[in-house]
Chains A and B, each alone.
Chain A
Amino acid sequence: MFKIICKLLAIASLVITASAYAQSPLQLEITIPRLQVAEYHKPYVAVWLEDQKRNTTQIAVWYDVEMENGKGEEWLADLRQWWRRGGRKLEMPIDGITGATKGPGSHIITLELASLLKNQRSGEYKIRVEASREVGGRELLQIPITLPIKSKDLPISVAGKRELDHITLTIKE
């Protein structure tokens, strides 16, 4: 448990939404497509960093945080891989990690590069983004990265097919 808390503290310092003072912040853009369906619900989205041994660092979870009595947590398990990669161990909500669901459009998560370097060993990682929509589908995308990140390797973009339009990792201008 202590280990988890330490990890979460590390992550909390890693996710800074508007950090004017951050050096070389990385930004992860997640675009949610506008879907022409009879019944549209904003997707649940989870973002995490995974090393080659599948050790997980949580980055973000967007779900129905505002529902009464934590009712929104009832569908968190539909983010199947995220749930398995640590979601099921966490006590929701988590400051700096959880947020409300987001609609179609572009959403930006800013990762502070210095913290990311400090808290992770160098090596191969994946940034994974999973989306699951009520009465809809599910999609899991990943961006492979090597830490420490070199600016020449960026931007990296991966296109989704259904529930995610694309995810892009860049250095913030």
Chain B
Amino acid sequence: MLSTKLITLVVVTLTMITISIPAHAHRAWIKPSKTVLSGEQNYVTFDAAVSNTLFIPEHVAFRMSYLSATGPDGKELAFENVGKGKYRNTFDLNLTQSGTYRVGSASSGLRASWKDAEGKRKRWPGRGGPAKGETFETAVPKQAKDLKVTYSSYRSETFVTLGQPSDDILAPSNKGLELVPVTHPNDLFATEEATFKFYIDGEPAAKTKIEITRGSMRYRNAPETINVETNAQGEFSVTWPHAGMYFLEASYEDDKAEAPATKRTGSYSATFEVLPL
């Protein structure tokens, strides 16, 4: 399963890819060529990249090793025709069963910052991830000055459906910040309202901050970002103003972390396709 496999990945992705709010920072995205498909079987091709401008590859490719795909039956699918580019990686998925598929990346782990004896700011893991064999236990001095430990989760994903949409793989794994659909993510139409829920470690994530931006940003001057916050039940709604590919970014923070962390943060992003009525 996507969640179980990927949640074990180290925090490399966190430092590399996320920190995507506010709007001007790099965004990591996975963009399907189509999200609603018909036929007995069909192919979807994906682009995956980290860029400034939405869906325009111009910074670095989204590393394939972070990605996995799950079919409607919960089984992992192989990527076909993987092409590694400078600015983006591309791959195909062969959809052979009816239902909803998920493609994405998820990880979680501890982060720490402190001041050393000379008063210099230190971080773990460093840029590029932890050194080989290094763990929180061995790398972070527990008595250091101004030690701050955060438990962070990260998830980036997208969904495609062959035939009739299904819900099986949309159930939360109860790890990290997760989007749980009320409206199916492959049934989104311009001018209609869609509702989703956010969960943090399986509990409703109230006050999750959400930014929603339509792609094709290069062809307009205003970012036209929609800002929403989840209610006490972790829910929020959005009325899609136009058809297009949208990018949703969410961030959550509280102090209910398990020791040794004192802060818990969650970062989530997804690509959605909104069709014209």
Question: Which residue numbers of A lie inside 8 Å of B, CB to CB?
Answer: 69-71, 73-77, 80-81, 83-84, 87-89, 140
Contact = CB atoms under 8 A, between A and B. Distances in A.
Interface in B26-40: 34, 36-40
Given A77-B34, A77-B36, 15 more contacts: A71-B39, A73-B40, A74-B37, A74-B38, A76-B38, A77-B37, A77-B38, A83-B38, A84-B189, A87-B38, A88-B38, A88-B163, A88-B164, A88-B165, A140-B277
Interface of B: 34, 36-40, 42, 163-165, 187, 189, 275-277
Contacts of A80: 36, 275-276
Contact of A75 (B38, B165, B276): B38
Contacts of B36: 77, 80, 83
Contacts of A87: 38
A89 B37 contact: no
Contacts, number: 34
7 contacts: A69-B40, A70-B39, A74-B37, A74-B39, A74-B42, A75-B39, A76-B39
Dominant SS among interface residues on chain B: loop
A75 B39 CA distance: 7
B275 A70 contact: no
Contacts of A140: 277
A73 B277 contact: no
Nearest to A75: B38
A84 B39 CA distance: 14
Contacts of A88: 38, 163-165
A89 B40 contact: no
A140 B276 CA distance: 11
B97 to A, nearest CB: 14
Given A88-B163, A89-B164, A73 B38 contact: yes
Contact of A70 (B34, B40, B165): B40
The 7 closest A-B pairs by CB, nearest first: A77-B38, A74-B39, A76-B38, A73-B39, A88-B164, A70-B40, A77-B36
B146 to A, nearest CB: 55
B39 to A, nearest CB: 4
Contacts of B164: 88-89
A71 B34 CA distance: 17
Contacts of A77: 34, 36-38
